[in-house]
Amino acid sequence: MHTTGSLYGFLVIGGMLAITPGPNMVYVMSRSIAQGRTAGLISLAGVMVGYLFYMFGAAFGITTLFMSVPYAGTALGVVGAAYLLYLAWQAVRPGGRSPFELKTLPNEQPLRLLAMGATTSVLNPKLAMLFVSLLPQFIDYRHGSVFGQSLFLGSLLIGAFASANGLVAICSSGIAQFLHGRPALLLAQRWAMGAVLGGLGVQMLVEASRTAGVA
């Protein structure tokens, strides 16, 4: 279903995205610092509910598109490339706020922590774009079930995000203090991420244009 090279590429991109701070990571970190690592891990469990929601939604949507709309792969490739180029710009743009400016949060009960984590994740539209733009680039509709491939790749992506955010929940205080005192490291990480996403976005645009030309 997937070649070793394509899986390696997907894992590299997924890993880079997973370690890039975003709203969910900052929320988990803030909750861990404010209420302890157990609260952070419970919040992370809620956040993962949102990831599962978008994974299944994207899998059903991608399957429907591939089955019913001609050239859907090319269209999704263009959309995905544009989104990755947008993320690359967001990573390197000047004047951006540090994601490690943490919030002070009140203590909450476990069920509320779970619900708040899920709500934070589900209401993050970037998650939907992430799944819809990234997964199709590594799906080959000629080999195996599109739905099955979507779930397989989505599960790998969720695993990467869960691992990264789990480490954040456990080591949040040390991570925040370490990065807060090293702005050069944060800047280097942002530029490395921007370069990877930008290069991938350009590559996807080229491949989409070639596909459209052949068609």
Q: What is the pLDDT of residues 144-171, one digit of tens each?
A: 788 888 899 999 999 999 999 999 889 8
Tell me, yes or no, if the pTM score tops 0.75: no
User: What is the rounded average pLDDT for all residues in the chain?
Assistant: 77
DSSP codes, 89-132: HHHH-TTPPPTT-PPP-----HHHHHHHHHHHHHT-HHHHHHHH
Give CA–CA dist 179/195, Å, rounded.
21
The ranges assigned to domains in the chain are 22-210
Of the chain, the end-to-end C-alpha distance in Å amounts to 23
Question: Roughly what angle, to the nearest 10 degrees, separates helices 125-134 and 4-18?
Answer: 160
- The CA-atom distances, in angstroms, between 22 and each of 106, 142, 173, 187 are 21, 34, 17, 15
- 155 token code pair: 């599960």
Say if residue 88 is exposed, middle or buried (CB neighbours under 10 Å; 0-12, 13-18, 19+).
Answer: buried
Question: Roughly what angle, to the nearest 10 degrees, separates helices 23-35 and 110-122?
Answer: 160
Ranked by mean pLDDT, the top range of 43-52, 94-103, 114-123, 182-191 is 43-52
Q: What is the pLDDT of residues 59-118, one digit of tens each?
A: 887 666 655 665 665 666 677 677 778 777 877 787 655 555 555 667 889 899 999 889
